[in-house]
Amino acid sequence: MRQWLANVYRLGVKELRSLRADPVLLVLIAYVFSVAVYAVATGARLEVINASVAYVDLDRSDLSGRIIGAILPPEFDTPEEIPATDIAKVMDSGEFVFVLSFPPRFEADVLAGLQPSLQLNVDATAMVQAGNGAVFLQQIITGEITKFVARSDEASASSIDIVVTAQFNPNLQSTWFASVMQVINNITILSVLLTGAAMIREREHGTIEHLLVMPVTPSEIMVAKIWANGLAIIIGAILSLWLVVQGILGVPIAGSISLFIAGSVLYLVSVTGLGILLATFTTSMAQFGLLALPVLVIMNLLSGSTTPMESIPLWLQYVMQAAPSTHFVAFAQAILYRGAGLEVVWADMALMTVLGAAFFVVALMRFRQTMASA
């Protein structure tokens, strides 16, 4: 056992030196855990920010003025008035996302207890912004009408007082979600790519023959590649959480980083094993990239990091339970977002351990066959 550990250590050091000598992979790791995290978190915003609004006011009343005045930044730009004949033109050109149209006698009909129609045209090209923005505008309109009818700056009394508390992301900022999820997704991507690239590099450089004549076993070679590349990924993920997510983006990390690292190590065993398994079916880096790409896309899209698990078909939810990425995403979200402890995430850690062992055994069997036929 001592000799086995010594061989694993020495082979792992060799992997780290090979990684250090590969500037492309070093730049990739640095980019993925820095620029990529920042760009995705700040570039793809899902909430309503600076949405353009136009209005047609055929009423020219105090009520229509109050509603227009309540549409404020940062959710919306200052509303611009347009003639009624330009509604179709500005919507077709995409100049405005929302166009609000006040009919004549709107205020008089409201005060008379009638139910006048207030038209809101929405450019639903961007569905999320359109849907959320329409809800916000409806709330603004309803609130201002209620205040106006009550002849007060406070809403009329209601028999039900609804208090909404947004936990874990009180300002509902997509940056908080996207930044942490990007780090989690990048752990999966790099785990597959680095270990697979390490295997392909052995073939392309001809060092696989050197390994075959050395007194080392396939398990020693495989474990060495896993711990060496996994160490580089864990260090990059931790620095990304501290420097980029917390430092630059100002996103708080609620839970224990140590517990997150422990679960990430369990996850790395399975996903790096997957990278080695994919590499055994290819003979070049180009082939490996083409094979790994659809696997990574499916893992990221259906693991719950991009869309909630509840939004995919039920049968597919059951299928994805066999993917370690599904349990890692649930584990990471519970710790980093909600501050969960071991008593909450132990089940996900146990499942990652079982799946990791299964992936490791399958990858090891395939790796032994590959080395025997080399």
Query: What's the pLDDT score for residue 163?
Result: 66
Same domain, 23 and 81: no
12-19, Cβ contacts within 8 angstroms, sequence gap of 24 or more: 12/223, 12/224, 12/225, 12/227, 12/228, 12/231, 13/228, 14/224, 15/198, 15/224, 15/225, 15/228, 15/229, 16/228, 16/231, 16/232, 18/198, 18/201, 19/194, 19/198, 19/228, 19/229, 19/232
Proportion of the chain above pLDDT 90, given as a percent: 39
Question: Residue range 216-241: average pLDDT?
Answer: 89
Same domain, 230 and 350: yes
Domain that holds residue 243: 2-44+173-373
Q: With bands split at pLDDT 50, 70 and 90, how would you rate the model's confidence at 62?
A: very high
Same domain, 341 and 224: yes
CATH number, domain at 107? Answer: 3.40.1710.10
Tell me, yes or no, whether 164 lies in a domain: no
Q: With bands split at pLDDT 50, 70 and 90, how would you rate the model's confidence at 159?
A: very low
Between these two residues, 151 and 90, which has the higher pLDDT value? 90
Tell me, yes or no, whether 77 lies in a domain: yes
What tokens does 168 get?
A: 């874990």
Query: What's the pLDDT score for residue 373?
Result: 65
Is residue 267 over pLDDT 60? yes
Question: Which residues are 102's β-sheet partners?
Answer: 57
Is residue 155 over pLDDT 50? no
Q: Are strands 53-57 and 98-102 parallel, antiparallel or unpaired?
A: parallel
Same domain, 16 and 106: no
Query: What's the pLDDT score for residue 162?
Result: 57
Mean pLDDT is lowest, of 31-40, 153-162, 178-187, for 153-162
Residues 155-183 as b or e (16 or more Cβ within 10 Å = b): eeeeeeeeeeeeeeeeeebbbbbbbbbbb
Query: What's the pLDDT score for residue 60?
Result: 92
Question: Residue range 104-119: average pLDDT?
Answer: 89
Query: What's the pLDDT score for residue 198?
Result: 84
Same domain, 229 and 348: yes
Query: What's the pLDDT score for residue 205?
Result: 72
Query: What's the pLDDT score for residue 273?
Result: 86
Residue 333 amino acid letter: Q
Same domain, 331 and 311: yes
pLDDT digits (tens, 9 = 90+) for 284-311: 888 888 999 999 988 888 888 877 787 7
Instruction: Provide the domain count of the chain.
Output: 2
Tell me, yes or no, whether 114 lies in a domain: yes
Mean pLDDT is lowest, of 44-48, 173-177, 192-196, 262-266, for 44-48
78-85, Cβ contacts within 8 angstroms, sequence gap of 24 or more: 79/53, 79/54, 79/55, 80/52, 80/53, 80/54, 80/55, 81/54, 81/55, 81/56, 81/57, 82/54, 82/55, 82/56, 83/56, 84/56, 84/58
Is residue 154 over pLDDT 60? no
pLDDT digits (tens, 9 = 90+) for 333-374: 999 988 899 999 999 999 999 998 898 888 888 888 877 665
Same domain, 134 and 13: no
Query: What's the pLDDT score for residue 18?
Result: 84
Question: Residue range 260-282: average pLDDT?
Answer: 90
Question: Residue range 221-242: average pLDDT?
Answer: 91
Query: What's the pLDDT score for residue 156?
Result: 46
Question: Residue range 234-247: average pLDDT?
Answer: 94
Q: In this structure, are residues 309 and 333 in contact, taking their beta carbons and an 8 Å threshold?
A: no
Same domain, 261 and 310: yes
Tell me, yes or no, whether 117 lies in a domain: yes
